[in-house]
Amino acid sequence: MSDKRQAVGREKEDPLNSVKSKRTLGLEQDITRRDFLNSTLLASGGALLSSMSPAQLLAQKVENKNSFTDDWTGYGGVGDYANSNGNTTAVFEAGHRIRDGEFETAPSNFVDTGEMYDCVIVGGGISGLAAALIFQRKAGEGKTCLVLDNHPVFGGEAKRNEFLVDGRRLLAHQGSALFQVNYPHSFIERFYQSIGLKTPRLQYQKWGSSDPEVALPTTPYLGSAPYGLYFGAKFGQPKGVWVTDPWGKKLEGAPLSAKVREELLRTQLPSAAQAPEYRGDAISRRLDTITLEDHLMEKYQISRETVRTFLTPDEGSAFGLGPDALSGYTAYAFDAFGPTLDDENQMFPDGNSGIARLIVKTMIPDAIGGQHSLEDVCRNSINFTALDRPGTGARIRLESTAVWVKHEGDPAKSQFVTIFYARGGKLYQVRARSIVMAGGSWTTKHIVRDLPQDRKEAYAQFYRSPCMIANVAVRNWRFLYKMGISGAQWYEGFGTYLQLRKLALCGTDVTIIGPDSPVVITLKVVYSRPGHSTEEQGHMGRAEMISTPFREYERQIRQQLTDMFARTGFDASRDIAGIILNRWGHAYASPAPGFYFGKDGKPAPGDVLRGAPFGRVAFANVDLTGMPDHKSSIIEANRAVGQLLDQVLS
Ligand SMILES: Cc1cc2nc3c(=O)[nH]c(=O)nc-3n(C[C@H](O)[C@H](O)[C@H](O)COP(=O)(O)OP(=O)(O)OC[C@H]3O[C@@H](n4cnc5c(N)ncnc54)[C@H](O)[C@@H]3O)c2cc1C
């Protein structure tokens, strides 16, 4: 927050309404965004943050619904996902009705659909979709399942944005981005094969410019491609200083003290600290008793301040918060998946949206037009009417928020579960012989009304934190190319890094890339608030995200890119072709110390939920393992469906 406040505070006049600001930043430009301004919120965004609780902020948002709903959600792009960019206003409002206790007692005013399914799956992200497909396959002929998801499009965090820029179609991810090539006989590789991902090593765009080539990776994360560090006002550099090839040049020219420079250089060297050999060994258990911040200080012999200022964007960002809020074991949690076949990460042009679409095409063949090929699934549109067709074995019902789930009578003897869901202002009832809760801890703990105490206590140890993915379509990226870089990292203002990537060829019209190609720049915002508890950091971040209208974030984005790149020719007014914000209120599972192996002699909370179903209810979703990767989503779906088939359904 403090960084963002500084950015806003640099201007003396009202930054959104000053004529100078509008002109230089291009706020008046006709770009691909909706432009319904709500003057009250725009003027008071900062004040709201400091004086109101998240509940009050959302209440105010709901009251003003008609005047600025669209101004908050903002422009959603074109194509299938035009109305489904992140958690839209409607999704937030439905979720908060649950949190605020509106459905504590069984609803009396509802539409009974009369439907009874063998399995209902709450949550249509990769976990819920995988659960439905696995159920369809394993339960056999005649068994039925229904997926309920609260968004206008399935996929959860694995969705896409689509822009049309000067006639060219550009795709980007809304959240979940990359995947790996796994061992051929592994469970995940066989799952990929079964959904039609037969050649997980994808083909990518080639360099297609007469200018000398600058390396581009396949994903939007900083790595081996050349990038620069930017130091601005926070480092006493109001005009900004760039250090390109920072590690090669040993941070020469960076406005840092000798001590900080030395500490940062140490983080680039191999460390003598021992890493865990396997999940659960003595080293990993010890790491789970301390914070990631303490671990990094110990590992590199660096100060807390250096961790907070410089390592937060890297080290905690796969878990949504800064290192002081996370378990030390998060540094190694992904290792538990084991090795992959090669080091290069793979990514569809729209991220793991491609995997969600492949699952749906496999389960409901006419849900996406064309053949069961990567190309067709990426390129063709969703046939929404095919998703929820009476008489079919597997159905997906969108814009449907499950608000109440309970066994009929004693969970140990009950024959079915009743589910109420909210859709279009009405409540509906369905029944199921079994249910997979794949929506995530933050809703499951509220809506399973007869959840026993041990599962409640387990879910109380799950923290989810917000994240916003801002996709900015630009007409060219010469402003980066001129510095010889394709990525950048910075430590103040909006976002913390960007990395251009070459796109996989499935679903893209353009097979080459160069500095004059239009591209989508992805800016990720995590809301870490060092010094506060994991839970508080999540609440504070959501409060900021909820209270900031689209237009204010747009201004911050334009300001940030202008501050950093105007010197190499970037002109926000000319170069920005479109902006889409994807706000995820509960994006990441943020494991605090004790999450992985339990505290005070108690089992790890994830193990409590994974160990056995509760009555007819099994639990899935990425958050159960503390490894935020779509592989967890699929593995947990497989385990949950297996438990229902082995132990519940007769
Ligand atoms: C910014 C970001 C980047 C990421 N990058 C990667 C990456 O590069 N690679 C990778 O493998 N993983 C990545 N992940 C991890 C990601 O969480 C998983 O890959 C995966 O997409 C999670 O799928 P899921 O189904 O488990 O959960 P989700 O995607 O969260 O799906 C749950 C769905 O259930 C819905 N839901 C919840 N409650 C209800 C209810 N009561 N009624 C109806 N619907 C409900 C939710 O709204 C959502 O649509 C990233 C995550 C984030 C946030």
Q: How far is the CA of 587 from the centre of ligand 1 (A)?
A: 7
Which of 531, 387, 514 is closest to 1 using CA atoms? 531
Q: Which atom of ligand 1 is nearest to the CA of 628?
A: 15
What pLDDT score was predicted for residue 67?
Answer: 29
pLDDT digits (tens, 9 = 90+) for 575-619: 999 999 999 999 999 999 999 999 999 999 999 999 999 999 999
Q: Which residue has the higher pLDDT, 27 or 276?
A: 276
Which residue's CA is the closest to the ligand 1 atom numbered 48?
Answer: 156
In this prediction, residues 273-278 reach a mean pLDDT of 93
577 close to 31: Cβ distance less than 8 angstroms: yes
Q: Where are the beta strands (DSSP E) in 86-224?
A: 111-117, 119-122, 145-148, 160-165, 168-173, 206-207
- Check whether 512 has a pLDDT greater than 70: yes
Would you say the CB of residue 180 lies under 6 angstroms from ligand 1? no
Would you say the CB of residue 177 lies under 6 angstroms from ligand 1? yes
Q: Where are the beta strands (DSSP E) in 118-253?
A: 119-122, 145-148, 160-165, 168-173, 206-207, 227-231, 241-244
* pLDDT-based confidence at residue 23 (cuts at 50, 70, 90): low
pLDDT digits (tens, 9 = 90+) for 91-126: 988 888 998 899 989 899 999 999 999 999 999 999
The tally of CA atoms less than 13 A away on the side-chain side of residue 269 is 13
Could you tell me whether strands 435-437 and 617-619 are parallel, antiparallel, or unpaired per DSSP bridges?
Answer: parallel
Query: What's the maximum distance between 2 C-alpha atoms anywhere in the chain?
Result: 72
- Check whether 320 has a pLDDT greater than 80: yes
* pLDDT-based confidence at residue 272 (cuts at 50, 70, 90): confident
Helix axes 65-73 and 54-63, enclosed angle (nearest 10) = 120
The residues that bridge with 366 in the sheet, in sequence order, are none
Please give the backbone phi and psi of residue 419, each rounded to the nearest 5 degrees, phi first.
-125, 130
pTM: 0.92
> Could you tell me the CA-to-CA distances from 189 to 199, 278, 341, 630 in Å, in that order?
10, 22, 11, 13
What pLDDT score was predicted for residue 605?
Answer: 98
Q: How far is the CA of 527 from the centre of ligand 1 (A)?
A: 18
Q: By percentage, how much of the chain surpasses pLDDT 70?
A: 90
pLDDT digits (tens, 9 = 90+) for 521-573: 999 999 999 999 999 999 999 999 999 999 999 999 999 999 999 999 999 99
Distance CA 243, CA 247 (A): 9
- Check whether 313 has a pLDDT greater than 80: no
Q: Which atom of ligand 1 is nearest to the CA of 157?
A: 29
Q: Which of 197, 399, 622 has most ligand 1 atoms within 8 Å of its beta carbon, as the pocket-test mutant? A: 622
Distance CA 117, CA 619 (A): 17
Residue 50 CB: number of other CB atoms within 10 A? 10
The residues that bridge with 576 in the sheet, in sequence order, are 474
Which residue's CA is the closest to the ligand 1 atom numbered 41?
Answer: 402
Would you say the CB of residue 435 lies under 6 angstroms from ligand 1? no
What pLDDT score was predicted for residue 571?
Answer: 97
Q: Which of 84, 91, 157 has most ligand 1 atoms within 8 Å of its beta carbon, as the pocket-test mutant? A: 157
Q: How far is the CA of 100 from the centre of ligand 1 (A)?
A: 23
What pLDDT score was predicted for residue 44?
Answer: 34
3-state secondary structure 62-73: HHCHHHHHHHHH
Distance CA 544, CA 537 (A): 11
- Check whether 9 has a pLDDT greater than 80: no
Would you say the CB of residue 124 lies under 6 angstroms from ligand 1? yes
Residue 617 CB: number of other CB atoms within 10 A? 28
208 close to 516: Cβ distance less than 8 angstroms: no
* pLDDT-based confidence at residue 509 (cuts at 50, 70, 90): confident
pLDDT digits (tens, 9 = 90+) for 131-190: 999 999 999 899 999 999 999 999 999 999 999 998 899 999 999 999 999 999 999 999
Would you say the CB of residue 96 lies under 6 angstroms from ligand 1? no
Would you say the CB of residue 126 lies under 6 angstroms from ligand 1? yes
356 close to 634: Cβ distance less than 8 angstroms: no
Structure tokens at 190: 């066989």
In this prediction, residues 200-229 reach a mean pLDDT of 95
Residue 173 CB: number of other CB atoms within 10 A? 27
What pLDDT score was predicted for residue 27?
Answer: 79
386 close to 377: Cβ distance less than 8 angstroms: no
- Check whether 42 has a pLDDT greater than 80: no
Distance CA 547, CA 46 (A): 8
Could you tell me whether strands 487-490 and 227-231 are parallel, antiparallel, or unpaired per DSSP bridges?
Answer: parallel
- Mean pLDDT of the chain, nearest integer: 90
